[in-house]
Copies of this chain bind each other. A is one copy, B any other.
Amino acid sequence: MTIVITAFERSPDGGQGLARDTRVRWALEEVGQPYEVRLLSFRAKTRPAHLRLHPFGLIPTYEEGDLALFETGAIVLHIGERHAGLFPDDANARARAITWMFAAVNTVEPPILELVTARILEGDRPWADERLPLVKDRIRERLLQLSARLGDADWLDGAFSAGDLMMVSVLLRLRPSGLLDEFPTLAAYVARGEARPAYGRAFAAQRAINAP
């Protein structure tokens, strides 16, 4: 069955790979599954046809025969359950990899989303300059903890897994801020993720659509 995902026809980041379709493309490349992309305009995302697929009007979505999913984490988990390459065979190691997926989206990403909000939605507010350091410090707290856990390991728990795919993708959002470079351990971790051939193919595919 053909896999079809959605992506924005013009990503707000201009092809830096930070839109969430890159995470799903990366997962599909890791497991070697071909896929098609349906491009969506910003206006189309809140139309009924898309809201039926994604109730929050976001991308990506994932369609495969009768199955329609949204939420990047759930899509990556689904891909990893169907195809080898994203989860270890051992049941306990697999549960720990899923733990890192949730840690990426529910513990590390929320303060990073606050930074995006502070810049994009509140950047012209009178409190913007004074508030930004507080937002950044809350991110630093998480990065410090993550860096301590990673230590000198290549990946978060043994071999590369969907947990690393999600964590690297979340951390990549920080690159424009310079925060990542304050933590060399994490900057090297992210670079290892980007160096994977599957990431390279996913990045190039979204870049081909979004490059100026």
Contact = CB atoms under 8 A, between A and B. Distances in A.
Interface of A: 51, 55-58, 66-67, 69-75, 77-78, 92, 95-96, 98-99, 101-103, 105-107, 109-110, 113-114, 117, 121-122, 125-127, 130-131, 134, 138, 142, 145-146, 148-149
Given A92-B66, A127-B127, A98 B117 contact: no
Contacts of A113: 110
Given A73-B106, A114-B114, A127-B127, A145 B98 contact: no
A117 B117 contact: no
Contacts of A114: 110, 114, 117
Given A55-B103, A114-B114, 10 more contacts: A56-B142, A70-B103, A71-B107, A73-B102, A74-B98, A74-B103, A121-B138, A122-B134, A125-B130, A127-B127
